[in-house]
Amino acid sequence: MKRVALYLRVSTDTQTIENQKRELMAVAERLGWTVVETLADEGISGAKGRDKRPGYDRLMQMIARREIDMVAAWAVDRLGRSLSHLVGFLDEINARGVDLYLHQQALDTSTPSGRALFGMLSVFSAFEREMTRSRIMAGLARSTKKSGRPPLDQDKADRIKRELAKGTSINAAARKLKVGVATVHRIKQQMAQAA
């Protein structure tokens, strides 16, 4: 007997999980599954993380503890809205040897055709991860621009030195030459060390 957890989710309080539950229970009966638990997150967006979805959190615990052989859900969007969440979910169940049944997508990874489709999904999820990684690496390569202020040109440095040599205060020299006080202070220190 296949031990199955049903996962049901609706995004708003005005929706109901009853239709999802009725359809999945009919499939379970027809295929001879043992439904060990029905988990639901009602009025919770699929974009929310695991910590905000108690039913989903419990489902993940059951998968980790190998308490079930299959997860059955109405549709892929019931499990999560973001591709990254879904990819993580697929990786987790695959690693634990747990099958997935998605009613709307007609996906059942306990069948040969379902495993083939799941294999393709896994290839696409790996491709998506690699594309994301490539975009990040390309972005890092483009950002070789150094941060901070550009170096002070020698002409301005010489004018600062002349002002300081005349006895102009650091603040007055900075205001007059439109540079930072720290820049003038640094040049004054260099002048003192050179003397």
The percentage of the chain sitting over the pLDDT mark of 70, rounded to a whole number, equals: 93
List the domain boundaries for the chain: 3-139, 154-194
Burial of 7: CB neighbours in 10 Å, binned 0-12, 13-18, 19+: buried
Give 59: exposed, middle or buried? Use CB within 10 Å, 0-12, 13-18, 19+: buried
Query: 79 Cβ partners below 8 Å, 6+ apart?
Result: 7, 9, 46, 56, 73, 85, 86, 89
The values of phi and psi at residue 10, to 5°, are: -130, 150
**pLDDT reported for residue 147:** 62
Task: Determine the average pLDDT of the residues in 93-111.
Answer: 87
Catalytic residue, candidates 11, 45, 110, 122: 11
What's the confidence (pLDDT) of residue 69? 96
Q: Is the predicted pLDDT of residue 14 greater than 80, yes or no? A: no
Q: Is the pTM of this model over 0.85?
A: no
pLDDT for residue 85: 72
In this predicted structure, the answer to whether residue 37 has a pLDDT above a threshold of 90 is: yes
pLDDT at 32: 94
Residues 6+ apart with CB under 8 A from 92: 60, 63, 64
- What per-residue confidence (pLDDT) applies to 109? 83
DSSP 11-52: SSTTS-SHHHHHHHHHHHHHHT-EEEEEEEEES--TTS-GGG
Please give the average per-residue pLDDT across 101-106, as a whole number.
87
Rounded Cα–Cα distance for residues 65 and 56 (Å): 14
143 is a catalytic site residue: no
pLDDT tens, 126-179? Answer: 777 788 888 888 887 777 666 666 788 899 999 999 999 999 999 999 999 999
Greatest mean pLDDT among 10-14, 140-144, 181-185: 181-185
CATH match of 3-139 with 3.40.50.1390: yes
Q: Sorting pLDDT into bands at 50, 70 and 90, what band is 71? A: very high
